[in-house]
Structure formats: structure tokens, C-alpha cells
Structure 1
């Protein structure tokens, strides 16, 4: 009992230490302050459709405490008043690194193919009690700020319903150069503008106050970049990037049919020198349909076989207990010979989730974000 208590205390201490390190690594960065209002960016709630872009400069990031490149996992906008968000709640958000520091022309949109889609879903329910509070977006794919350029954020609002009352956002106009042309917006009731080729918008200096949940590079074992997965008739292709690695041994590729219970289907060694890198590294992993089906569906057979043997050993005096497990193992094993039929079924799988698990040389593990595999 005493040993058990010591083990529990040790685990609790390790958990607290891990939590403290994570908290220390993350920084809350806020850009902008004051009482200025903005009703156009990140969106115009009075119009059916809205597309906007805003630029936040490297100088602002440094002044707010982000002195090196790092990963942004959450962004927050501050409300002034609150109108029913059910009419402006579906957002697609893009983020990118850019060398420009302002918009000059009404057509100076940053190309969407130079940015990463980081968020696409309905916002949480927002009511009047949340006026003058921060609306938080947890990014589907964290964004890596390179530390040398500025950040551009594009918001595409796609809910075709307008409000009678404006939704205002807390804004600011930068006092340091360039304080002009930091925002570009377009809204209409007649059609949903395409972010790939948006119409001419309106240039403004007032942009929304914003908060970033920021993790500087080098404070965590791995800084994950974009992760993508795609299923085809041939199999599963997974690609990911890391922006920095520290003491990494290998990466495990894990899949799930429900997004909650994951099973490892393969692994790749770190490309970093002795598991360390400060440069961007690209990884690719492919598994055929037959192998994927086998590893997902039949990985439990060895466990079933072991349990059956245990039952046979424990109950060797009872013939019924011996015969039952043997029949069960034989039946399960026979299913594994039908891979072709099972593979055809897997090809039609419409829901497959993927994540990457990083394993350090000391055995410490951390995971990437979870993505849903696209079908070809």
C-alpha cells in the first residue's frame, strides 16, 4: 500500500510539472487596446456575406512579448455589444506570413493560396452576457508565425442572413508606422464572395484588437506544422511538417474511426540530426488499403489468442472451456483471410481521423492536432 501511495504521488508530481512547463511555454499576446469600435472586421454582421483581411505587424508582436517565431493555437476577438450570432456564426479563417505591412489599393487582397486555412466551423453560442468579452477560436490547424514577417488574417463569413442590429468589435488604429491601410473588407447581400478572387473592397486603418495564444519555438519538443491526410483507392497518404524538433526519436502515425480511440499504424524516425532541428522538415507516410484494414481491424487478434490460451490453461480440466476458446480463435482467424473483401469495405470508409504522435528519446510523448482524412 505504501509503495502504491508513493507511485501515485510521483505521478501527480510529474503531471503538475508537465502542466507547469506547458503553461510556461504558452504566452497570451494581445495586440491593440483602447475603446475604438470596429463594425467591419473581422466581419460585417449587417450583411449576408462578408470577407475581410487584417495585418498585424512583426513590431507589434515583438512589443507584445513574441520575440521569436512560434505557433499560434488560438485567436480571440473582443466584442462590444452582442447581437444574435446565429446569423453570423459560420467562419472560415485563413492565416499567413506576409512581407507587406499595409493595403494600398482596394484590390490588394493577399492571395488565399499563400495562407493556411486554420478554422472552419460555427462559433460557440454567444449571448448578451458576453458583451465586452473575448470570443475565442481554437484553431483546427495551429499557425506558425515565422518571426520575420507580419501576420495577415482573413475571415470569410458564409451565413446568408443579416442582422437588424450591428455587431461591434473592439478596434484600434496603430500609432506606429504604418498606421494606415491595415484592414481591407468587403460585404454584400447578393452573393458569397470567393476568397480566391474577391471583389474590390474598402481599405481602412481601424482593425480589431486581437489576442493570440502563442508558443515560442524551442519551448516544446516539437513544433508541428501543417498535417494532411487523404484516402484513395490505393490507400492512406499522410503528410506533415515540423518547424523545430528537440531530442526526438520517432513519430507514430495514429488513426481512428471516431476521432477518440486511436491505433498506431506505422512510425517514421526523426529526420533531425540526433533528433534535433531548427529548420522545417517534411514527412510522408503511405499505407495500402489492405494493410490499413488489417492493422485497424485485426490488431486485437493476438490479444484474443493470448486470452484464449490463458482460459485454456486455467480451465484445462473442463473440456467445454477448452473447446470454446479454440473455436473462437479459429473463427476470428478465418476472417483475416478475407482481406480483399474487407479492403473493398474500407475503401468506402467515409470517416477516418489521423494524428501524429511524437516520441522523445526519453519516451515522452506529445501529439499533433487531429485532422479528418479527405477522400479522393
Structure 2
């Protein structure tokens, strides 16, 4: 069930007085009797009530059609100088006239107070409406409502009284500097009362009109599609936005609140904070008709320059509510990052997967949560819900772990830099990894010599991938690293229900593209990963530093493949050079239909030469337990082979006979020199490298490769 309709009290429209009263003659005993009976029935709660039709914007209680009338009182206490006068003019009637910009002007003196009543003498309104006043004042703001009280009455009897600390407030989209101040009613009413005290000191308050928002006949809104971000806008959902502030209001503000619930993805509310001043600000969005069930993702689409480092999430808290009762709180690392609505915009959807139903979500910004970081302005564009649904995991298929195929989110608990914050590098646009565009990418850049690793973790909120699944990331190096060097700087982990399952790095990682198709191979150069031996619901990549240059890796997405058939499962592969000899060791964990192995070498990681061949040790080419292999060769012989390889590869490309002859002569001279050198003098020299990989050949002729490793020079 996508959401649950609230049970609201929605009664038919009716006047306060029975039709029988109007039929009786004036002054008759019957008329008097019926009037008394009707009045008593009203007092005891049997009156029919008006259910306002659905309205997501305030409906002013003004005399546009003669429906509303106003009665008012004004009094000053102690000094008696508080008043509704402007000069000698009583301004109270302005609150119910047709000019919505025409305000009743209340002047408060120290020790004084003002009261304003707006009464409908024809209708009683059902509980559940949002009711209040539009007020503007230099003394009033979202954090300073202590001087305001809003009360509902029915036939002159007080029903509910809400002090400033319990009132909701929102910036007006119609009148600059004014606030809609009110609350959701729980009892029927026919009168709204505004009381203003001198708590904030002497000053002037402009009261433009009383208003109501009806919830009657509001639809719950469309059912969200699975694993797809859905905007909660008032054009399609019965939602209202609220905001509030604590602390110094001169430097903390919420503006353009209505932009959060409009239908545009390009307009935003702004939360402005200053790090040196204590305080918080919040915005919230509430569905007035429907509840959302547990298991939904809910979040806010925000933009803040500090969020280029996900450590800034500690400044944000998400709280869910149901019928005004707090349900769950998510803050800092417990927040998740959803797919951005507008890719490459620098925006992120920050939220959480709920385990309790809710009808309201609140985003709180704490401007002092990060030491030495000024959050400045946070733009809040929209509130998002996402009905997370399980994906389909079928045999012999490859998947990108992203929306909408899977309920994927960025787990910020395991995303960011480990260790000390700052000075390690940057993580940019991680939300791109879970959107529906495989060409979008995230970037992890780690400074040279940094002690920390940068990580991004993708969580599937509903699915568990089985053991035997190929898992990893499609990526490329912007630092120009070859496969061996790149993989040496990467660690890939799998997790299940928050528990680490497996961690593979360096020699244990494979370029899984050679074993099968990975969602079209992606836009990167490598599909780095491994075949999981345990089930998982989360995969994480960590990028470490290099000694002399920044390590920048572009990541296009995470993959899971059930279409990887491993004829061999490689264990560790290593190579080292010592005393003029090259030694290569490798281990196979399992073998299936294997014929033989070849050791291949390369001086550039691109052009490879087979330098050794050995048959499989497995009986009939099949094994389910580890088998060790080793190979040692004089490095002088290897150098000869490498030189010969380069020369022979180049000869067919040369058309001039003379040059062919010269190159062949160089080749023969090189061979002779190599053969006469002492083996201790033949090496790769200087900073040159030698790369090694193992090629496994099936009995049917197919070939599969191990991870590439660099031969280590030992003294």
C-alpha cells in the first residue's frame, strides 16, 4: 500500500441555526423554544460543520462575498497605550476587507498587549484545517514568535490556544516580510483570535488577514513509481511547507519557503547561516491527507558548496513526524544520498530510508556543527519521496546497481575520507553513480602522500546479491595509471546488513571485463572487482594515495554480474626480481576445464609477450582446492626476449627495405650484447617497470587473465 489516507472529520456545510428556527414566526414561543434547543445542541457539539475544500494556499477570511464578518477587541495593559490606531483611524476593519495588502496596524508599548478577533457568524469549521494570521513586523521573525498566541473559539468558548513556541510559521509568497502564523486545528471553531504581547518590546505589527487552509476532499497525490524520485509539490500533492529558526535571527534566515513545494526543480528556498553564531534553522513539508509507509526514502534536494565533502553532512539532520509526533531522527553519517534530480548540478538529495510511517519530513541545519566551516547559504529545492522496490536478480545477467532498476542509495556512513577531515582530497558528485545515466560519473581525488582513503559506498536498500556474483566498479584513471598501479591503490568491499563481508585489493582485484560483459562495459577503462564468495547488499570502493602525484579516479557506477563463469579463480599473484632472476608465483583457488597457463610480461603494460608456459596441475583440468604455481627465469634471457619482441613487432610496419635491414641489424646486435652481458647488469634500469600477468587457457581455446602485477625489485 503506497500511502494511507488519514481519517479526517469532514462534515457537510450547514448554517449554525436550524431551518426550523427560520420557519417559526418572530417572537413566538415556538421560535424561542427552538432557538434554545438549537443553541444547546450547538454547545453540546451536535452542530453540523463546514468542511473547507482542499486548498494548498491560504484562503483569506475577508468579506469578498459577505461570508465573513469581523469582531475585534484592543486593549493595552499596564500603560493602556497599545492600540490599533493609525493616527485617529481604527485600522481593525482592514483585516477583513478585500485589499489583502491593507493591514490592521497594531502598536505595542512595553507592558501592553493587543487582541484581534475574526469571527464567521454563519459557519462553524471542522477540525483539521490549518488556521492562523498573516503578520508582518520588524520584531517578528521565524525564531521570535514568543509574543504571539493564536486561539480558536466556538460560540465564544475557547477551543484551543497555541503559544508562539507551538505555532508553525512560513514566509508569505504574497507579501514580503510577512509570515503565515498558525496551527492545525483539532476541534471545530468559528472564530480566530490573535493575541500580541510586548515580550519582544515596543513596536508595530501589521496584521493583513486571518486565513485557513482546507484539507477536505484533498487527494493523497499520485502513487510514486518504484525507485524513482517523486517531487512533493502542492500542484499534485496536499502538502504545506513550514520553517523555523533558533538563535540570532539577524544572521540566520529562511526565505522563499514556498519554492520547496512548487512544481519547479529550479527554484529553491534559502537557509542562510553563519558559523560564528549559534543557532539552527529548519524547513519541513507535511502531507495533510496521507501517511507514507515505512520503507520509503524521504529526503531534500539541496545545494551547498560545502557538500563537495560529504563530511559536511554532519551539519544536517532529518526528522520525520506522524500527526505531529516525532518518529525518527537521522543526522550526519546516518543520512543517505539519493540520486540527484539534475545530474552534474552540484546538488544532492540528502535523506534516509524510514522504518516508521510518516507524513512530515523536516530538514534542520546546524551552522556550528562543523568546526571552522561556514555553511553559508543552503539552497533547498524540493522534498523527495521514493518508493523503494526490490530489483530483479536473474541468472546470467549483468546489472548496474542504480535507480530505477534497483533501490540504490549512497551510504554516507561509509562514504568520504577516513581519518582526519580535510587535506586529503575531494569526492565529487557521488550521487551520479546511482542515477539512470551510465555516462555520469563521480570523482575521487586523493592528494599525493595523503594518509586517508576516499570512499564511496552504494547500498541496495531491498535486495541481497548471491554468492558467486561478480561485483565491482567501472572506472578509469585520470592520473594515467596502468591497470597494475591503479588496482594497487584500490580496495573494494562488500557488506551485508552493515557487516563487512569481503575486502579485496591490489593483487586480489580483477579486471572483470575479460570474464564477461558488464553492463556494456561502461564508459571507463576497467571493471575492477572480484567474484563474491558471500552474499551482499552494499559495495564500497576506496581509493588511496600515490607517493608523488595525486590519484584521481573517475567512477561510472557499480556493477553486479551473475553472468561470470570462472574457468579459474585466481588467488594471489606476485612477481619479484632478485639477483638477476625473475620469479613469478601464483595460486589458483578453483580450476574448471583448464589446459595450461602462460606467464606474460610487458615493459609498458600494453604490449605483452609470453615468457613461460606450464600445463595445469589440476586433474583433468578441474580442481576445487588451491594449487600453487611458480616460475623462475634468468632476467638476462627475459631482457633478450623483450628486446626481440619490440624489434620483431616493429619490422612488419616498415616498408623501406633499407630500414628493415637496419632494424634487423640492431636486433641482432642487441641480442649479441645481451648474451655477453653479466646477468647482474641486465635489468629494467632506473625507473623502468616490468609488468606480469597470468593467462589461463581452456581446453576449448578460450583465454582468461589474472590481475596485472608489477615485478618488485628486491636487493
What TM-score, normalized by structure 1, do the two folds share? 0.49
Which structure: greater helix fraction?
A: 1
Structure index of larger Rg = 2
